[in-house]
A and B are shown apart, each in its own frame.
Chain A
Amino acid sequence: MTSEHSQPTNKVISQSSVQDTPDGRIPVGKTMPGEQPMLSVQNLKKVYHTDGGDIEAVRNLTFDLPKGQLACLVGPSGSGKTTLLKCISGLMAPTEGEVTLHGEKVTGPPKSMAVVFQEYGRSLFPWLRVAENVELPLKNQGMDKTARREVVAEALEAVGLSHVPKSYPWQLSGGMQQRVAIARAVAYKPEVLLMDEPFAAVDAQTRADLEDLVRGIWKKLGVSVLFVTHDIDESVYLGERVIILSSSPTIIQEDLLVDLPDERDQLETRSSQRFSELRHHVYEQIQLAKKGFRPEDAVANANA
């Protein structure tokens, strides 16, 4: 325990900067002026209009996701993570601001994006067998049968499920069901893979396996991954970058570079000095966010 509270040997590297936005001077995530990012979120705001009045879930979010990066979004519960993901995936229109993919505004679910949801049991078609679930998006795209069969077999192989193509999803364990959902996303060959707390509902041991699976697939496919989680350890272990969200109405609290070695290992990485420093830092930030710390206030105070 003492090591976790010792001073970090290396400072954590924050990539966020303070910018003028329509919602005042607030921290924003790393953006890439000049070069074309793969996915770009600009001044995104989402307000829900309800009978009981308006609820501002997301106030202002700005960050870019470059091609091939694995970034984790972490925030306290109720920090609008799912809202953000729905806006990025085009399932929901933002109130203000925009999401662009390759410079094109996202107005509906884009072709080159796949989403893995937390509720695997509700995201797989229970009336289709495992292979049919993976195959359906390809069938919908009009891919011919022999090509489809090959891609499905490859995807199932990649997630270690080649032995159960004929089973129904509900006959499998939770972890295996989520693997099917991942295989379906992999077979779709997206450029951006969005994952909404995909491992929140599986047990700890399965989760570790699935984390390594995601790292493996990410490296193999060179796909950009945006991984939403509330698990601090998971965000640091998985990501090249951790974007910390404030409590609702959400803005970016900090955009952190994860300078851990590229080869991650459940035992070694997690017991390394740097891992606990980063973990410590993210943990502190989340605790701050939970206590109602507002980054915009901090910015205002610094200027005063």
Chain B
Amino acid sequence: MTYIRTVLHIIALPLILLAIWFVTTLGETSFFVPTPQVLVETFTETWTSERFVSDVFPSLGRLMIGIALSILIGIVGGLLIGSFRWLRALLEPTLEFFRAIPPPVLIPVIMLLIGIGDEMKVSVIVLGAVWPILLNTIEGVRSMDEVLADTSRTYGMNKINSIRYLILPSAMPQIMAGIRQSLSIALILMVISEMFASTEGLGFAIVQFQRSFAIPEMWSGIVLLGLLGVVLSFIFQLAERWILGWYHGLREIEQAA
């Protein structure tokens, strides 16, 4: 029963929106607004053929590499910066500066420096998506519980075990919050990076459709992006439930008390 209710909650709003769309486009002749039926047809036609391999695949690849690199750099950098007070004092003002620069404006510079290939696109994704993870990791490391740190010291925990069993898990709730923010930033930057000097990719395809007045195709690309965001967030939630199970349990008990 609860299962059915959950499913209903998930699909209720999309169904209503679809219905509104269907009704409002009945007898609609506007070139720019396709009906749901047309869009579904175009969607399957456009994205199940060779476009999936030539555009979606490379995009997804770059997105995944970008996210993985952001997580790796963000966590390793955050652990280092969070662990050493002097390093933090040295880097934090500069980090604020770089963080404030919107990555899209750096695309021309990066294109000059490292060309227009995949490296450029992945760099753009990382340059934007790394910040929430990096800053949250620093904050997570800094907010370590003192008693827990003392406990580890009295048991003579070595560096590697401290990181593995103390620092990393203790910062994990904040790290996951950072990763969640980074996912949407990465998706946006994936699209933007493909709008410059590209020959393939989702962003490239959408812009090309638009310029060639293939309006239903353009819409279908946008829908695909939205679906991609949903899938990403779903995967994230599964991972979070697995990694932070202890944290949610602890919070539930604290709130019940």
- Which residues of A are at the interface with B, using a C-beta cutoff of 8 A? 86, 89-91, 108-109, 111, 113-115, 117, 119, 122-123, 125-128, 136-137, 139-141, 168, 170-171, 188
Contact = CB atoms under 8 A, between A and B. Distances in A.
Given A125-B148, A136-B165, A171-B253, A89 B246 contact: no
A140 B156 contact: yes
Contacts of A188: 155
Nearest to B146: A122
A109 B247 CA distance: 29
B62 to A, nearest CB: 33
A188 B172 CA distance: 27
A111 B250 contact: no
Contact of A115 (B154, B247, B253): B154
29 contacts: A90-B154, A91-B150, A91-B153, A109-B153, A109-B154, A111-B156, A113-B154, A114-B154, A115-B150, A115-B151, A117-B150, A122-B145, A122-B147, A123-B147, A125-B148, A125-B166, A125-B169, A127-B170, A127-B172, A127-B247, A136-B155, A136-B165, A140-B155, A140-B156, A168-B246, A168-B249, A170-B246, A170-B250, A170-B253
A170 B257 CA distance: 12
Contacts of B25: none
A283 to B, nearest CB: 30
Interface residues on B, range: 20 to 34
B37 interface: no
Contacts of A126: 246-247, 250
B249 A140 contact: no
Contact of B161 (A86, A117, A139): A139
Contacts of B247: 126-127
Given A109-B153, A140-B155, A117 B246 contact: no
Q: Is the interface of B mostly helix, strand, loop or mixed?
A: helix
Contacts of A117: 147, 150-151
By Cβ-Cβ distance, the 3 closest A-B pairs, closest first, are: A122-B147, A137-B155, A127-B169
Q: Which of B165, B170, B253 has the most CB of A within 10 A?
A: B165
Interface in B113-171: 145-148, 150-151, 153-158, 161, 165-166, 169-170
B165 A125 contact: yes
B219 to A, nearest CB: 45
A179 to B, nearest CB: 16
A91 B246 contact: no
Given A125-B166, A127-B169, A114 B155 contact: yes
A168 B249 CA distance: 9
Contact of A128 (B147, B150, B165, B250): B165
Nearest to B160: A140
Contacts of B146: 122
A49 to B, nearest CB: 17
Contacts of A136: 155, 157, 161, 165
Contacts of B157: 136-137, 140
A86 B151 CA distance: 11
B249 A170 contact: yes
A128 B148 CA distance: 13
Contacts of B161: 136, 139-140
Given A123-B151, A125-B165, 17 more contacts: A89-B154, A91-B153, A108-B153, A109-B153, A114-B155, A122-B145, A122-B147, A125-B148, A125-B166, A127-B172, A127-B246, A136-B157, A136-B161, A140-B158, A168-B250, A171-B249, A188-B155
A36 B172 CA distance: 47
Given A122-B145, A125-B148, A125-B166, A91 B250 contact: no
A86 B150 CA distance: 9
Nearest to A136: B165
Contacts of A86: 150
B154 A91 contact: yes
A91 B156 CA distance: 11
Interface in B169-205: 169-170, 172
Contacts of B172: 127
Interface in B237-257: 246-247, 249-250, 253
Q: Which of B147, B155, B249 has the most CB of A within 10 A?
A: B155
Contacts of B151: 115, 117, 123
